[in-house]
Structure 1
Amino acid sequence: MYKKSFGINGQIQFANEHEYYKLIGFLAKSDGSTSLVWEHNEEQGAWGSEGRIQIYRAILPNNVGRLSLSAGVGNIINRLNCNEFVQDIVRNHGFVMGVQQDKENVLETIPDEFKKDFEEGYNA
C-alpha cells in the first residue's frame, strides 16, 4: 500500500502515488529487468535477512521515486535493499520471489485511478 517513504533510512521515497504505482508496474514486467529475492544473510553471520530488488538494466524509467541503489555483483547492475517495500509488494500486490510476476494478479490490486501509471511502468 502506498506510503511516501519505505525503509528505516528512507531507501525508497515517492513524491506521490503515481510514482509508487509506476514502480509497481516496472517491477511486474517479468522480462529479466528485475528480480525479487529474500537473502538470508544471517546464515553467513550477518545482521539478518534482507528483501532485495535486483536490477539487471542500466537505465530505469523516469518518475518511479527516489531509490537508494547500491552496486550489484556479476550481472546485477544495482540492488535496492528495503525489507519494508519488498514485504509491501508481496503482501499487498501479489508479487512473488524471483524474476517472474503474474501481471494480471498484480494489476488486480491496483486502484483504477492508478492503472495508467502501472501500465506506464510496465511498458517502460
Structure 2
Amino acid sequence: MTKLVYGKDHQVEFLSEAEKQEAFDYLITSTDIEFRHEPNHESGAWASEKRMLFYSVDGVPAGLVRNWTAGVGRVVGRINCGELYDEVFPLREAHHS
C-alpha cells in the first residue's frame, strides 16, 4: 500500500490508493493549478511555505477539494503541504517539460 497521509499535521489524507492516483494525475497535468514556494522565513515567519493554488473547481477530484482550505482572490482553494508538494512537483515538472 502506498502512502495516503501527507504532512506532519495530516494536512492531506487520501481515502484510498485510487483516490490518491486520481489526485496525482490531476495535480501533474492540470493547467488550473499553481505550485508556489514562498520564502516566508525571509520576512520573519518561522518557515517557508509550499502551496498548491487552485484557480478553478472544474474537474478537481473530490480527494483534493476535501483537503484544501479557502483561497483568496482568484484562488478558489489551496493546499499547504510541503510533503505532498515535494512528491508531486518533480512529476509535474517532468510532465510539462
TM-score interval, normalised by the smaller of the two chains: 0.7 to 0.9
User: What is the correspondence of 1:1-124 to structure 2 with a 5 Å cutoff?
Assistant: 2-31=2-31, 33-59=32-58, 60-64=60-64, 66-67=66-67, 69-91=68-90, 94-96=91-93, 102=95
Q: Deviations over 1:63-110 (max 9, x none)?
A: 55841x22222211111000111011135xx223xxxx726x8xxxxx
Report the number of matched residues: 95
The TM-score with structure 2 as length reference comes to 0.81
Compare relative contact order (CA 8 Å, sep 6+) and give the higher one, 1 or 2: 1
- Counterpart CA distance in 1 for 2:56 and 2:87 is 23
CA distance in 1, matches of 2:85, 2:77: 16
Q: Can you give the 5+ residue segments of structure 1 that lack an aligned partner in the other structure?
A: 106-124
For residues 5 and 83 of structure 2, the distance between their equivalents in structure 1, rounded to whole angstroms, comes to 10
RMSD: 2.3
Query: Structure 1 vs Structure 2: percent identity of aligned residues?
Result: 29
Deviations 1:27-70 (A, max 9, x none): 12343x21111111111111111111001113532355841x22
**Aligned in 2, Cα 1:63/1:52: closer, same or farther, shift over 3 Å?**
closer
> Residue 24 of structure 2: SS of its match in structure 1?
helix
Per the normalisation by structure 1, the TM-score is 0.65
The letter for the 1-side match of 2:11 is Q
- Cα distance in 1 for residues equivalent to 2:7 and 2:62: 21
Partner secondary structure for residue 84 of structure 1:
helix
